[in-house]
Chain A
Amino acid sequence: MNRLEKKLKDKRASGGKILLPFLTGGYPDIETFIDLLLELERVGADGVEVGLPFSDPAADGPVIQASSQIAIERGASVTSIFDAVAKARERGLTIPLLYMTYYNPVFHLGAEEFSKRAAKSGADGVLVVDLPPEEAAEFAPAARASGLDTIFLVAPTTPEERMERVTRESSGFLYCVSVTGVTGEKKPVTELVGEMVERIRPHTDLPVLIGFGVSTGEGAASLAEVSDGVIVGSALISALGDARGEEAVKRGGEFIADIRKALD
């Protein structure tokens, strides 16, 4: 079991709820991004998901689209983000970290090369949003060979017969998409999410985290009650506003601290 899965399972075993914030890599700029990573750990994040920005983020809503575009314009690349994460590790980041991206930047570098470099940067897992298990025959083994957990998604549209396939390929945790939509768009309905989690449970003992549309402490607490925890992305990026440097770190820290409090 890797660090990511172990830490999250430990958290669940202790009766706590898992909080996994999402940051767009290199946003608002590389230096602030590194400081933000450390700040998230300080205010109680159990892990962090780092988006490797892609030019065509077809599964993302306007907030992450915009942050991705800005990050790319300011020079963020797979390499610069890997370097930044390695720096954050040197500066004391200990919580598990996973990369979220689209397949083209991975494929372009090569599945094996990408996985090796991702692991070397200090990551514990990877989630490729447009790579369903059916297309992951090359990538998933390469990632696992480098010691990375492979996270796949379950959506409200996922039928019973696919659950088996998706959960079998998953390690680390299971990412449960709360709504049929893109990131940061619709508000999830707790009862429906609860039903989905109950459908997932018989297939896996991995922690089940809820993502997409988790925007407030109250919402997070309600969704965490029917699952093992939440992923907070668009709302965190929105909370940063157009701030950079210390101000962005302060805003991000306060926002996640509030959600932490609501979850506890």
Chain B
Amino acid sequence: MTIRGETGRFGPFGGQYVAEVLMPVLGELEEAFAAAAEDNGFWDEYHRILREYVGRPNPLTFAANLTRLVGGCEIYLKREDLNHTGAHKINNTIGQVLLATRMGKRRVIAETGAGQHGVATATAAALFGCECAVFMGEEDVRRQAPNVERMRLLGAEVIPVTSGSRTLKDAMNEAMRHWVSHVENTFYVIGSAAGPHPYPVMVREFQRVIGDEIKAQSIERFGKFPDCVLACIGGGSNAIGAFASFLDDDVKLVAVEASGEGIETGRHAAAIAGGQVGVLHGQKSYLLQDANGQVLEAHSISAGLDYPGVGPQIAELARTGRIEVLTATDDDALKGFHLLTRTEGIIPALESSHALARAVDVAKTLPKEAKLVVNLSGRGDKDLATVLAFEMRGGEA
């Protein structure tokens, strides 16, 4: 794998828009990651942990009941929900914390929205014996109480963030501030394929195992690549992980953004469909912002998609038309949530439910024999309280 030479620029997107203090630190990280990426021993260790600890490869499940009900093409589920900790996030945190220890950093920090990345970071920290602090918006601490408890049980310090909108973007601001103040001994584990270079590249490489497995499993099962791979996008880590292996192949790639209460209401998290190009958290990409260039609060029923930006590579793939970008509202996601739960006995994360909602439509547009793979990025146990509260209030999130 050649990481060296990647500039972190994807067309007009990406870059390193950070304060001077961090520039040398990012340079060091870039070098350390490039060196690790060239070291087979590093990848052997990474894959050993994914196999023995995370439980990879996870299955590609044929959703027979759902396929029959929809009446379109064959729908398969990539079961990231079956990973240890219940989502795809662990793939990346194992990789980054392994890199941190290789760099001699024994303290890791992370931002988290839904709590899945926080839990995955706290888990990897426990496994590697690192100290861990997780920044989480106060609003998300309230919405995702079970994950807060999990992080604390794992030995992480959960730091509620009370600035701004008190959600994921503010947690990321606070994590960056903390990182700037503790650069000597602290490694910042970013959960999304976003942020300053080399993060978007690094997170993609630690998530590409999803697409690599989809590819191998498809060849084994169908004797060919799938016809379409579909994933939800917030920052875009599960999507870029599922897509990375297929970028040069004749495979339709579809990403689904969270349009919350509807793009026209202004209460949404669809950075590509409803944002403009801007700069936040070290990267240039699509961004929700007002007429003065102030960043807008995102809104989504799913805390994991509640982010006003999107990773730079996903942005470029959307700009060039390599991926198709659709949107799903809060209501659509709830329908997807219930649909999969009832038809297949699998409770999906609300994030993944956005993908499921649109997968149903896409399946109807493809030939019956076509194979559509939906990345089921996480399990939905963490969302039960949110779903019940939403439905009791008659749809008001």
Contact = CB atoms under 8 A, between A and B. Distances in A.
A182 B181 contact: yes
A108 B292 contact: yes
B17 A109 contact: no
A155 B20 contact: yes
A104 interface: yes
B122 interface: no
Contact of A180 (B16, B180, B281): B180
A60 to B, nearest CB: 8
A103 B176 CA distance: 16
A135 B196 CA distance: 11
B177 A109 contact: no
A130 B169 CA distance: 16
B164 interface: yes
Contacts of B16: 132, 134-135
Given A54-B294, A78-B293, A103 B24 contact: no
Given A78-B292, A107-B279, A56 B19 contact: no
A59 B180 contact: yes
Interface residues of B, number: 37
A182 B278 contact: no
29 contacts: A54-B293, A55-B294, A55-B295, A56-B170, A56-B281, A58-B176, A59-B180, A69-B163, A77-B292, A102-B279, A104-B287, A104-B289, A106-B293, A107-B284, A107-B293, A108-B289, A108-B293, A130-B17, A130-B279, A130-B282, A132-B16, A135-B17, A155-B19, A155-B20, A157-B20, A158-B23, A180-B21, A180-B181, A180-B184
Contacts of B181: 180-182, 185-186
Given A105-B294, A130-B282, A132-B19, 19 more contacts: A58-B281, A69-B164, A104-B289, A105-B292, A107-B278, A107-B293, A108-B278, A108-B293, A132-B20, A134-B16, A152-B20, A157-B24, A159-B24, A162-B23, A177-B21, A180-B184, A182-B177, A182-B180, A185-B181
A57 B163 CA distance: 10
A154 to B, nearest CB: 7
Given A56-B280, A109-B293, A154 B163 contact: no
Given A65-B163, A69-B164, A158-B20, A104 B295 contact: yes
Nearest 4 A-B pairs (CB), nearest first?
A: A108-B293, A105-B293, A155-B21, A181-B181
A141 interface: no
B15 interface: yes
Interface string A192-225: 0000000000000000000000000000000000
A153 interface: yes
Contact of A158 (B24, B164, B172, B289): B24
Contacts of A108: 276, 278, 289, 292-293
Nearest to A159: B24
A103 B17 contact: yes
A56 B24 contact: no
Contacts of B24: 155, 157-159, 162
Given A108-B289, A166-B20, A157 B173 contact: no
A58 B173 CA distance: 5
Interface of A: 54-62, 65, 69, 72, 77-79, 102-109, 129-132, 134-135, 152-159, 162, 166, 177, 180-182, 185-186
A211 B170 CA distance: 25
Interface of B: 15-25, 163-164, 169-170, 172-173, 176-177, 180-181, 183-184, 276-282, 284, 287, 289, 292-295
Main secondary structure of the interface of A (DSSP, over half): loop
Nearest to A106: B293
B23 A134 contact: yes
A103 B20 contact: no
Given A58-B177, A104-B280, A130 B164 contact: no
Main secondary structure of the interface of B (DSSP, over half): mixed
A69 B295 CA distance: 12
Contacts of A158: 20, 23-24
B182 to A, nearest CB: 8
Contacts of B17: 103, 130-132, 135
Contacts of B169: 56
A130 B19 contact: yes
B183 A157 contact: yes
Contacts of A69: 163-164
B20 A154 contact: yes
B20 A55 contact: no
B377 to A, nearest CB: 26
A180 B23 CA distance: 12
Contacts of B284: 107
Contacts of B292: 77-79, 105, 108
Residue of B278, B287, B293, B295 with most partner-chain A CB within 10 A: B293
B279 A55 contact: no
Contact of A129 (B19, B184, B277): B19
A178 to B, nearest CB: 11
Nearest to B174: A58
Nearest to A78: B292
Contact of A56 (B18, B21, B23, B295): B295
